Amino acid sequence: MHKMLVVDDEHDICDFVRNFFQERGFMVFTALNGDEALSIAKKESPSVVLLDIKMKGMDGIATLKHLREMDRAMKIIMVTAFDDQDKRDEACRLGACDYITKPLELDHLEQTVEKILK
């Protein structure tokens, strides 16, 4: 069973994505900020992380850096409401596997997760 960590400061998005992937056999953890995400990732070692870029406190790019230091094999997909080419380039340079914009299209998200886990 794959473990997934969903990191977003919006409760509704965390719940929405958690429910979707739990129905597909994933063990899903959620975090509302970067610090919480790092704590969960350290304890649970998820194989895939959906990481929002814009969050209060530690943003997604800073969280990505820390996750990469923790586990280079972790698959990280950046999620954002704004398609910012500079942020996309930085996230890719730091080791993000993909970059998805909101609103989330579940079929596309599922295909992206399946692709990076193969």
On whether the pTM is more than 0.85, the answer is yes
**Helical pair 60-70 and 34-44, crossing angle rounded to 10 deg:** 20
Q: What is the pLDDT of residue 18?
A: 98
Domain count, the chain: 1
- From residue 21, alpha-carbon distances to 11, 75, 106 in Å are 16, 16, 9
What's the rounded Cα separation, in Å, for the pair 54 and 51?
9
Report the CATH number that the domain containing residue 99 is assigned in CATH.
3.40.50.2300
The mean pLDDT of 81-109, rounded to a whole number, is: 91
Q: Nearest-5° angle of CA 22, CA 40, CA 43?
A: 105
pLDDT band at 26 (very low <50, low <70, confident <90, very high): very high
Residue 88 reports pLDDT greater than 90: no
Provide the domain limits for residue 94.
Answer: 3-117
Q: What is the pLDDT of residue 115?
A: 95
What's the rounded Cα separation, in Å, for the pair 97 and 112?
9
CA 114 and chain centroid, separation: 14
